[in-house]
Every structure is written in C-alpha cells, then in structure tokens.
Amino acid sequence: MSDQSFRISAGDALTAEKITEAGEKPTEAVADYALRLGDDALILAQRLGWWIARAPELEEDVALANIALDQLGHARSFLSYAALAWGRTEDDLAYFRTEPEFVNVQLVEQPNGDFAHTIARQFIVSYYQFELYRRLVDSSDATLAAIAAKAVKEVDYHRDHATQWVLRLALGTEESRRRMIAGLGVMWPYVDELFRDDELVVSLGEAAVLPSSLREDFDTMTGAVRAEAELEHPATDGLRGFVARGGGRDGIHTEFLGPLLAEMQVLARAHPEATW
C-alpha cells in the first residue's frame, strides 16, 4: 500500500515523469490493475490517432486529437506507475509487450469504422471511464487516486463530446441515423466485458473499483442519451444483438489488436534504446 503522506493532489500537475520520480512502488496487484487501465487508454489513444487528418471536418480533427492526447496522458501515468513494480519503464510496457500481454478490454481495440462507429465506441468508453474514475479518486492507493482525479475532468468532456455526436447523428439525416444505429450495433456486444469482476479487482478491495458496481449508473446515463436520441436498446434493434465473450483482461483479444500493435510498436522495436 502507498504511504498516505505521498498524495499528489489534483491541483498539482500530475505527470508520468512525476510518478516515476516519486518512485512509489505499487504492489504487484495494484500494478496489474494499473496496467489494465493504462492499456485501455493506450489502445484507445492509438485508435483515435488514426483520425488525425481524416476526420469529417477540420474542427472534429482537432477534437478527436485532443481526446486521443488526453487518453495517452492517462495511459502514460498508469503505465509509468505499473512499471515501477517491475523495474521497467512506460516505454517498455507500451512497445515491448506482445499481444497476449496486453490486458485492455476488447472494446477499445475495435476498428474505427466510419465516424459513427468511432462515436459509438467513444460513447461507451467515456461513460464507463467517467463512472470508473469518479470512484477511483477515493482509492486507498494514493497514486491511482491522483491519476483518476486528473483524468475524470478530461473524461467528463469526452463524454459530452460523444453525447453531442450521438444526438446529432441519430437525429440528423436518414443516412446519419442509419450509421449511428449500425455503429452502436457493432460496439454494444463489447459492453458487458467492461463490467465483469474478477479475482484481481476483488482482491484489491479499497484500492480498486469493482466494475460491476458501475453498471447501473452506466445504463442509466447512456439510456438517457439513447432516449433523447430516440434510439432503441442496441441489442433489440434487429442488429447482431450478441454479447462478446470478452477476455481482454486475460490477454485474449479480437483479430484487430495484432495489426494495431504491429504498427504502434514497429519503430520502437526497430530502434530499441533510441530516444527522440
């Protein structure tokens, strides 16, 4: 457990460098948990980065880039913290782990698809992350609490951004509505995995947040947006309506993560030890 005297307040600019500098080693279990949250943010950031220079409008290019950079910041903090437990660095964890060593949820590795697919994925992730970080600020682990305090404000904005677009696409043209429904249909099967408890989170007690405890608020909040957007529950839209088996937390991934990692890691692996 972290020493309570070391508590980075939300007012301080918490950076990955500061976490490394502080050198407050997490327990093995806390490190495993931080790695999960870091991987979620890292893979999502990598996905969103693809949109840069490809978004439907210049302004949206900037918005998606901002969200990607926020997520990358969260990833760096979580990975830097986890790395301390194993005498490694954030770069080691990001660039020199193989696919089965990644423990992100399968949702974040799903392809960008069209703009509506990306918004659907973002809608789910941002509501999930908001509920998670909102509670993680009370973690008994000081560093996790500090990372969450900084992240929750940013994720609140991501949530707003996704909400605005779900409403506009769903209530826009016939074509935009069709695409929004299709996007939600493709992403929704991966929702259940976000809220599954397992041995690790249960063993962490006050340090972590039980995923299952977030479900009710997630359903209420996203349900309210869907109602406003006049959208049926995705599973009842006559779309695929299945639930993915999940397994991301155990290193089991969909076919989409391998190529993403190949692209993300190629430079670092070609030039190990390089700095720039």
Partner 1 sequence: MSSPGADETEPWPLWEVFVRSSRGLSHLHAGSLHAPDAEMAVRNARDLYTRRNEGVSIWVVRSSDITASDPDAKGAFFESPRGKEYRHAGYYTESEGVKHL
Q: Which residues bind partner 1 (CB under 8 A)?
A: 57-59, 62-63, 66, 160-161, 164, 168, 172-173
The nearer residue to partner 1, 149 or 194, going by C-beta atoms, is: 149
Q: How far apart are CA 42 and CA 82, in angstroms?
A: 14
E strand or H helix at 222, and its extent? helix 215-228
DSSP string over 83-119: HHHTT--HHHHHHS--GGG----GGGGS---SHHHHH
Task: Tell me the closest approach of the beta carbon of residue 41 to partner 1, in angstroms.
Answer: 19
The nearer residue to partner 1, 12 or 160, going by C-beta atoms, is: 160
Q: How far apart are CA 212 and CA 209, in angstroms?
A: 9
> What is the number of alpha carbons within 13 Å of residue 216 lying toward its C-beta?
2
Task: Tell me the closest approach of the beta carbon of residue 172 to partner 1, in angstroms.
Answer: 5
CA 93 to chain centre: 16
The set of residues, in sequence order, having a beta carbon less than 8 Å from that of 226 and lying 6+ positions away, is 166, 232, 233
The nearer residue to partner 1, 65 or 137, going by C-beta atoms, is: 65
The nearer residue to partner 1, 171 or 239, going by C-beta atoms, is: 171
Task: Tell me the closest approach of the beta carbon of residue 267 to partner 1, in angstroms.
Answer: 27
3-state secondary structure of 252: coil
Task: Tell me the closest approach of the beta carbon of residue 159 to partner 1, in angstroms.
Answer: 12
The nearer residue to partner 1, 26 or 183, going by C-beta atoms, is: 183
Specify the amino acid at residue 146.
Answer: A
Task: Tell me the closest approach of the beta carbon of residue 63 to partner 1, in angstroms.
Answer: 5
